[in-house]
Structure 1
């Protein structure tokens, strides 16, 4: 049953999962990529992000879908099974034939006369008639259906788990616009960590799957940072891209929430170990302590001389 095609309901669920990850695509596009990969969600997503429209241009639509082929095969099997099934003749016809055969032979003794008697006793005898539906149960078919249901449940669970791998880290994200995220980070004396994402770049989904889902990374972010994730094609995303002059996504920015200054930046896929190593210097001090440790700017020598000249002229 491992190679059985998905049912129409399962296909709809696979299309929905594809569209949830590859946001902005149409159901028709999702169906095409899933058909090209025999309805394997992860393979369809990888094909979409790697080859894109080129994969669709080189694909040839099948003459008959897998579902139609399965239905046709099932119908043919049912016809063959019906042809081999034994159909007993009606009881009346069978009884007439037996009596007629007995009458044609003079040597055959006549049937014994029917005797009807009444039985008496203290305990009545109860005779139960076996259930006809139980007598003709198809245990093989029931086992096959049970295995099919189990596989459907396993397929549905696997599809849900796969889609959940690429979902954004909602448990880490700050819910609100960029300005409020800065205010929240400043009030809590935490650095602001920003992740700009694109629905067209598979590395954005890899960040969700491999980096933000990493337990060490998640724990570090909860303790020391305010995390804000946004898509580049939204209003807030375009504002951040313009302000910090971003030319490629996905991108990760470490922002000083007090001044808005970019302290550190990464582009593309950043793996957990590398990100944790780069964030280590910012775990010792928060933004406020960082500013307090900075040396105060001294006035320039020219400004000091000008001030002294002005004071001298004042007393002349």
Structure 2
């Protein structure tokens, strides 16, 4: 509790006593308490019930201990608890009246509205694209859930997405931020800072219908990247703070994806939720990110549930996906294999310790809600060859057509006795980079100098850098390019700075 109060005070600059009251109103939920404070910063939450006093609406007189004689009975514990309960109930009623309106004097009856005649139109009624966008914006606003906009539930207008793409007009950005948060960002500088920090990535979001997104993806040869958010789950806010604001990730998304982000109750995302996201009512399924093929509508990759990946990891996984999949008409994408069946367990042959372990595992599994399985995981080879089914056939066909003489191949000329030593921690960060290597579900991150040659990477792996694969031939693939063609280039010249490299071992 003291830690939550300290966090509340550090973020809101409120008094510790007020922090304790807001936390008590939200059952010690720190995120909800902060949201309530910024929505109603001047809320009269009162103080903790003090000895001898109660709330103003239901005063209860209790004599002080000093004025009571020794022979007089002291109040019982149940009476003190009753005072606290009445104080909490009165406070709850007052909050409800402030938020939704309470019983008070009847408002004056206004004059009747003048009679008007209007014509309702939908998108497509005019040739003007801006006018159609405005109509679509109004329709979406009427269909939007009734949740109050705030710092952690920002709602963006369709026609103003371009405001976030440039910082030339900070006043316009501030006005749009105030609109998106329902005015919560204007409370103070701390509120404005938090609203900026947790702002959704409006500048890269495609804010049209699902069918229009598929058409855009097919026309531009871009994958559909979908993020479903639950504003009440803080891990979803971390995506807005760390992942979607990362410049490298944003550049990758702009080039290769049509990106959409919806709250779980947003009607605009209902079509995706109905077709794909069956576990949307489970908190353990968030954060939820998926990649969909715009041509077939097939969902090919999923990130579901905590923990949230780091920006470096997520950026690397996006590039790993782009290396293995393509929307080109003649490309052969990985094929999912049949999921292995679980072996049946004969309980009668199990020891007591094994039965207790199985019961513990089942209990832990039952405590978690359902999540979404990643279909891409079924395309990755687990036989130790390091090649997906589709990619393996493609490489075999290429080798047969080129008729490679392996005894005289460039791979045979690479030294297998030059193990690599990583740059020290004191090395200039501008002269080094980290490269992520993946193979058959295994991952390694290795640090190199930018002026190291690509041959250095081959020598490191060939000298035993990958345990259990000593003596096996392999290919290094990055951005659908075989790095054997870049042996004498530096890592920087080959475009491998901060990249992902697939290590594909041959049988």
User: For this structure pair, what is the TM-score category when the shorter chain's length is used for normalisation?
Assistant: 0.3 to 0.5
TM-score by length of 2: 0.29
Higher-helix-fraction structure: 1
Larger radius of gyration: 1
